[in-house]
């Protein structure tokens, strides 16, 4: 899938569709919107704008419901959420006082 097609799919078929189908989102007053806000180190970042009736609906409840549904829809579409990965290289010296390092033998001293 080309990047432009993938971006459109995320916008239309996942984010907007999930927001429009969520009963706690107030679609009558203003339709949900998606904004492409940044390129991350290993991601493309979107912002989903929705409107709710704060007198009847808790913001955290709506956010949680949307997050769970969006996560599932991304998984169904084969889109993975990137998580940073780090490589750690451990270097040690022979004869070091660090635990687990080999001790210097008399043959090494000659």
pLDDT digits (tens, 9 = 90+) for 49-105: 999 998 999 999 999 999 999 999 999 988 887 777 788 888 877 666 656 655 555
Residue 34 domain-assigned (yes or no) = yes
Q: What span, in angstroms and rounded, lies between the C-alpha atoms of 96 and 93? A: 5
DSSP 9: I
**Residue 88 counted as domain residue:** no
> In this model, does residue 38 exceed pLDDT 60?
yes
Establish if 73 belongs to a structural domain: yes
Does an H or E element contain 35, and which? strand 33-39
**DSSP structural state of residue 95:** T
Residue 9 inside a domain? The answer is no
Give the other-Cβ count within 10 Å of 8's Cβ: 12
pLDDT at 34: 94
Which whole number is the average pLDDT over 36-40?
Answer: 90
- Please check whether residue 76 lies inside any domain of the structure: yes
The C-alpha atoms of residue 78 and residue 73 are separated, in whole angstroms, by: 9
pLDDT greater at residue 32 or residue 106: 32
Work out how many domains the chain is built from and give that number: 1
Q: Is 62 helix (H, G, I), strand (E, B) or coil?
A: helix
The reply to whether 92 falls in a domain is: no
Domain of 43?
Answer: 25-80
Nearest to 100, CA basis, from 92, 108, 89? 92
Q: Is residue 106 part of a domain?
A: no
Is the residue at 59 inside a domain? yes
Q: Which residue has the higher pLDDT, 33 or 93?
A: 33
């Amino acid at each position: 899938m080309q990047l432009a097609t993938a971006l459109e799919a995320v916008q239309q078929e996942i984010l907007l569709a999930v927001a429009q189908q969520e009963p706690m989102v107030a679609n009558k007053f203003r339709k949900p919107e998606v904004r492409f806000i940044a390129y991350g180190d290993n991601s493309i970042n979107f912002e989903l704008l929705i409107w709710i009736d704060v007198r009847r609906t808790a913001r955290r409840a709506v956010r949680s419901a949307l997050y769970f549904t969006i996560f599932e829809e991304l998984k169904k579409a084969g889109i993975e959420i990137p998580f940073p990965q780090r490589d750690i290289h451990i270097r040690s010296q022979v004869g070091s006082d660090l635990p687990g390092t080999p001790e210097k033998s008399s043959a090494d001293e000659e």
